[in-house]
């Protein structure tokens, strides 16, 4: 009985995660027909009615998986996926290729902007709607998904510690993403122009947004710049600095609470956030650039009496309330 119960749980988990192919569903309907489990049968039948491109194809052979990826061997013997060559709209990043563990996604691995890719490959990437990866992936390179305009959902590995520069830049239909608690760094223009993104929760441990490439210094970080439908942002208590241009022209932003330990708000961090009407500035803040709230004409700052924020509001001519 335990084995049967475990089998049912496994099937229900796969249904929820949408990792079953149509063929696997049909096989399971036959295999479970003898069980007195009408709810499981109902879920399997409902799964069959999903749009064709919302779940993966039948499990691929090792040869088929290898053909879909350009790989690079890493010093520890694991693999980096350097370039996606397949044509699926729902892409399952393999945990292993053959017997070798996949631990990295290379820079621009799915991006339509990856140098030297063929026209057909670029067109296939432009059609990707969903990407799922296992927790074997520990690192994701710069611009990995950038320019995938049809990409709506990404399931990130719970083992990554950084979202690099440009990772989701110009993913205009991305609307569902959960940043794992393991992430401690989020880079420059990482979510720039994600026009469908409505809410984001930044995990505890992230102290600021900044360039992760270390190629050169950028003062315009624009991590969420141009996210025109972003309404709600949850920042962690660990954040002590909001970098320059972080929320530039997030024109729908209305709900954001600044961390209690925040010290610095860099230039133009909220420039063009036209719907932002109320913002409480913690007493811990010691520096705010003068153009931080440019074009935020509806904004009223809530400040502590005698604080730096009160003096800033007076000098900048911004309406404020002393709490």
Tell me the percentage of the chain whose pLDDT exceeds 70: 95
> 8 vs 297, which has greater pLDDT?
297
- Return the structure tokens found at 209: 């947004």
* Mean pLDDT (whole number) for 118-140: 95
C-alpha distance from residue 84 to each of 48, 74, 183, 216, 315 (Å):
28, 17, 24, 28, 53
Q: Residue 195 pLDDT more than 90?
A: yes
C-alpha distance from residue 211 to each of 147, 154, 174, 244, 247 (Å):
19, 22, 22, 11, 15
Cα–Cα dist 157/105, whole Å: 11
Q: What local confidence, expressed as pLDDT, does residue 20 receive? A: 79
User: Mind listing the pLDDT tens digit for each residue in 143-185?
Assistant: 999 999 999 999 999 999 999 999 999 999 999 899 999 999 9
Strands 100-105, 139-140: pairing is parallel
Q: What local confidence, expressed as pLDDT, does residue 235 receive? A: 97
Cα–Cα dist 80/138, whole Å: 10
Q: Residue 47 pLDDT more than 90?
A: no
Cα–Cα dist 290/318, whole Å: 10
Q: What local confidence, expressed as pLDDT, does residue 218 receive? A: 65
Domain ranges of the chain: 2-53
User: Mind listing the pLDDT tens digit for each residue in 275-286?
Assistant: 999 999 999 999
* Full-model pTM: 0.82
């Amino acid at each position: 009985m335990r084995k049967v119960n475990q089998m049912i749980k496994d099937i229900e988990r796969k249904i929820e995660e949408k990792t079953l192919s149509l063929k696997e569903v049909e096989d399971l309907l036959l295999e479970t027909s003898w069980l007195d489990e009408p709810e499981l049968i109902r879920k399997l039948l409902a799964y069959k009615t999903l749009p064709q491109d919302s779940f993966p194809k039948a499990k691929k052979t090792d040869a088929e998986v290898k053909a879909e990826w350009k790989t690079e061997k890493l010093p520890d013997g694991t693999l980096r996926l350097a370039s996606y060559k397949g044509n699926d709209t729902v892409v399952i990043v393999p945990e292993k290729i053959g017997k070798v563990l996949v631990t990295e996604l290379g820079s621009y691995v799915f991006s339509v902007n990856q140098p030297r890719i063929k026209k057909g490959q670029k067109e296939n990437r432009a059609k990707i709607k969903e990407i799922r990866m296992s927790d074997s992936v520990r690192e994701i390179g710069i611009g990995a998904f950038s320019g995938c305009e049809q990409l709506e959902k990404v399931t990130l590995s719970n083992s990554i510690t950084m979202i690099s520069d440009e990772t989701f830049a110009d993913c205009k239909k991305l609307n569902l993403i959960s940043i794992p608690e393991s992430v401690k760094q989020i880079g420059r223009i990482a979510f720039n122009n994600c026009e469908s993104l409505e809410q984001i929760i930044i995990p505890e441990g992230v102290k600021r947004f900044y360039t992760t490439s270390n190629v050169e210094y950028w003062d315009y970080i624009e991590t969420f710049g141009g996210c025109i439908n972003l309404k709600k942002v949850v920042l962690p208590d660990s954040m002590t600095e909001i970098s320059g241009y972080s929320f530039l022209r997030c024109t729908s932003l209305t709900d954001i609470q600044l961390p209690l330990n925040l010290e610095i708000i860099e230039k133009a961090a909220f420039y063009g956030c036209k719907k932002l009407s109320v913002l409480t500035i913690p007493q811990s803040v010691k520096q705010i650039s003068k153009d931080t709230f440019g074009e935020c004409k509806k904004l009223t700052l809530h400040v502590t009496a005698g604080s730096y924020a009160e003096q800033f509001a007076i000098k900048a001519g911004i309406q404020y309330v002393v709490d």
